[in-house]
Structure 1
């Protein structure tokens, strides 16, 4: 059977430490089950030339389409075909033949990396969450998607969606985060000299101010914009429990969010800032589900200290979604946070 080796990004190892290989294998399993044409099996950690790799086998050689899909793994640094045994303890080392990776990335990588602030979700994890959610949807990873992050903070998920060529929409209650992201994305677009329009407008309902909205349209060139090759970005400064006031039902292919970890949350509700992420999700998930298109998918990362998987699965099921049977993504972040991922789909 053909064998392949995946070299993990060094930054991925630093952030996830001992969990990096397991998370890579879990993500790889989702790619194999939901995206690859070739059946994937036998993933494991191997050491070649003193360097760790994740290796795997396929029932048939990877087609060009499969290599292109694997190019978007959140952990991928390089992908190789393995020729030779490479059995530990033997003198022979395998030949690693590099395969040309062609990720979906459409924009400069500094869109993801340039922002630095306390509490920022690691960009590799954000990409992993977006990947496994997109693969659960009826459209998969490669098609043009519309992505909504209802607790978007300063826009890490929005930026990753834009990198893939998707349209991105976000909502957050924190005015400082809204202002910081609006300032960042406008400056970034100007510095990159991308043809764009950007405006911040008030949002009113029955003459009352209920939020502010950043609207951005941009394209890679003037010629592209002229021919309609544009991406759309919108971020609302408002309460996530009022999402339906800002966006129409069945607007999004994906809802992707990293739920707050019990310090600050995305809704003020009627009794002050919520302190329970699980309680917030109980109230918010049914609203978010209405914004999903049939065949769409919702992916949520959360701190398991704030609620059990069974409890979150019950919330998603109660909102009419079907929870995916996905591999283990639970991993330690710090002494107060053990993070996990749950993904559910909306019946077509």
Structure 2
């Protein structure tokens, strides 16, 4: 069995960078079911004074392609018998330049590496995991903010669906994406239109189509982004059933962000939102689809979040310890669950 060492990418967020090795360890383990053989001896190892994620495996080209998408993957090396490092070329899915993810800067933006980690864990728990590299998948984020998860889905070549209550965030996302696409000279269309239900305006819908190249556009190989300016707890009839392979959401942390309660005020309790929203989200998931959530454990206990998901017919997926510190007021955790089928 060959031995490998993965160099992890630096992170602009120092707090997250300090925990990236432990989180990547759990993420690497999550890739095991889609690999052609087992992963052994997974560990965080210092080589030449630098920390690597080391493991033993027999990797095929497709296995390397999977692991190329590890959220913190920077470089992969095969360790020779005399413990030298031989580079292994990574082949990530990324269809666009990384600035699609890194340019947007705003208060409350989720760390890009963590966004990718949460999406990966959710994909790998779903029935779509074997198609991660070559399938036309759809990612939904029902609390999409200004679109970090949507943009990561685009990077993977997937379609994306978002829901956001704040109209300013929807407009900011439209402005950014259109500007970025024009700057990159990529063929696209973008339209923000009202959605009517029973003769009344129920929402606004942003529809964007884009192609990674002129050849893709000519061949009709376009990607689609749909963002609804709507309340995620009142989605009846606004999105078709079974429209998403996976659903990923970063719940309000209850510090700088909250969610509107039924009483009309701002609630700092993410579980209140989750309890009302999950029944709206469940019909969006295809059978075998998975849901991945992150939230602040300082304002919501993990057991209570899990109870809500189980009560709605989801099966929890065990990924080990993914809890980590974000800042003084936020300890973030992750839960992933799968819809049977």
The TM-score by the shorter chain falls in which range? over 0.9
Summarize deviations over 1:68-118 as a string: whole Å, max 9, x none. 100000010000111136xxxxxxxx2101101000111111100000111
1:37 and 1:310 mapped to 2: Cα distance?
Answer: 34
Q: Quick one: distance in 2 between partners of 1:47 and 1:12?
A: 21
> Retained in 1: the 8 A contact 2:15–2:325?
no
Name the residue aligned to 2:26.
26
CA distance in 2, matches of 1:31, 1:299: 16
Match of 1:83 in 2: 80
Correspondence 1:286 to 2:279: yes
> Greater CA deviation, 267-276 or 206-215?
267-276
Q: Count the aligned residue pairs.
A: 337
Q: State the secondary structure of the residue aligned to 1:293.
A: strand
Q: 1:106 to 1:127 in 2, by over 3 A?
A: same
How far has the Cα of 1:17 moved from its partner? 3.8
Structure-2 separation of matches of 1:45 and 1:222: 43
Provide the C-alpha distance between the structure 1 equivalents of 2:259 and 2:179, rounded to a whole number of angstroms: 26
| 2:242 aligned partner | 250
The normalised TM-score by structure 1 is: 0.93
Per-residue CA shift, 1:98-156, capped at 9, x if unaligned?
10100011111110000011111000000000000000110112222111100000000
Structure 2 partner of 1:37: 36
- 1:322–1:347 Cα contact (<8 Å) kept: yes
TM-aligned CA distance change 1:55 to 1:243, over 3 Å:
same
Q: Does structure 2 retain, via aligned residues, the 8 Å contact 1:173–1:267?
A: no
Task: Work out whether residues 304 and 338 of structure 1, in 8 Å CA contact, stay in contact via their aligned partners in 2.
Answer: yes
Among 187, 207, 211, the alignment partner of 2:199 is: 207
Q: Report deviation, 1:232.
A: 0.4
Runs of 4+ aligned structure 1 residues displaced above 6 Å come to: none
Q: Distance in 1 between matches of 2:205 and 2:262?
A: 20
How much has 1:41 moved relative to structure 2? 1.8
Structure 1: gaps spanning 5 or more residues: 86-93
Q: Residue 53 of structure 2 aligns to a residue in which SS?
A: strand
Distance 1:240 1:294, change over 3 A: same
Q: For structure 2, which runs of at least 5 residues remain unmatched after alignment? A: none
1:176 has 2:175 as partner: no
After superposition, where does 1:169-318 map in structure 2 within 5 Å?
169-262=161-254, 263-267=256-260, 269=262, 271-318=264-311
2:105 corresponds to 1:106: no
Write the distance in 1 (CA, Å) between the matches of 2:174 and 2:52. 39
What is the alpha-carbon distance in structure 1 between the residues aligned to residue 237 and residue 29 of structure 2? 38
C-alpha separation between the residues in 2 aligned to 1:35 and 1:165? 19
CA–CA distance in 2 between the matches of 1:224 and 1:56? 38
C-alpha deviation, 1:206, in angstroms? 2.0
- 2:252 touches 2:268 (CA, 8 Å); kept in 1? no
Structure 1 residues 225 and 166, CA gap change in structure 2 (3 angstroms): same
SS of 2:236 mapped into structure 1: helix
Q: Are residues 1:50 and 2:46 paired?
A: no
In structure 2, distance between residues paired with 1:154 and 1:26:
28
